[in-house]
Amino acid sequence: MAVTNDKRIVILGAGNVATFFALALKRAGWHIDTVYSRTRASASELAGKVNSGWVTDAGQIDTGAGIWLFALSDQGTIDIIKKTGFRDCLMLHTAGSLPMDIFAGHAENYGVLYPLQTISAKRPPVYADFPICIESNSAKGLEMTESLARHITSSVHRIDSERRLLLHTAAVFACNFTNHMYTIAGEIALKADLPFEMYHSLIKETAEKAVRLGPAASQTGPAARNDRLIIEKHLDLLSFYPESRSIYKQLSESIRRLSGKKAGDSEK
């Protein structure tokens, strides 16, 4: 099959990423033909937002839509693909950690449409031009995938599966682990009856500096200047929170090694 300019899409999934893509593509003039989800409530809710049909059994998807967009968990995507016969359409998944070739033998044209962004249902991305990484097994597939991506952002990057997995791993450090540190900070502050709102300005300035100057050049704090006196005070304070104490110690050692600071360096 030669991929056509058919602007009808099947959305597989009804979570945060599926909802984001369904709404964004509908606004861009694409027609959401069918929404699939395992539960009736989630499938019908998203379908109602994009004026499409919906199913809870992927085997019931009987459509001539030119694109199937998988926005499921990795295992969910694999499970549906295994149950799907060969399709005369462009199949795409949105995962950072799955190789493109999971579609091999199930579609003639397939690829990846991976958004490098944290996406939550309660908060659409503030920065509209976030990167979308694309890949396809065919020239026609790549052309259609890039067309989809450019209806959402101008920051489109052709990245193969191996590099995308590295990108995704790094994103876990940059986003998920960082957010978890905020959670721990909030729990520690709560012990002193201090509101998390006190950290809002600090969080924003830290992120802005990392973007403007680069994270290595922006690193401050006791570990960066190898201030062991303060580090030991903090570790003593965290004695009653062994998990947080272990994280603090490991991160401090990592920062110290990467910063290359010598003992006695007092710059901040």
What global pTM score does this model have? 0.89
Tokens of 38: 């395992």
Average pLDDT over every residue of 17-41: 95
Tell whether the model's pLDDT for residue 268 goes beyond 50: no
At residue 127, the pLDDT reads 65
Q: Which residue has the tokens 């958004």?
A: 115
Using pLDDT thresholds of 50, 70 and 90, give the confidence band for residue 7.
confident
Using pLDDT thresholds of 50, 70 and 90, give the confidence band for residue 267.
very low
The larger pLDDT score, comparing residue 123 to residue 243, is at 243
Domains, the chain: 8-159 (3.40.50.720), 165-259 (1.10.1040.20)
Q: Which residue has the tokens 């959305």?
A: 11
At residue 1, the pLDDT reads 42
Q: Quote the mean pLDDT of the chain.
A: 91
Element (H, E) at 148: helix 139-150
Per-residue pLDDT reduced to its tens digit, 181-225: 999 999 999 999 999 999 999 999 999 999 999 999 999 999 999
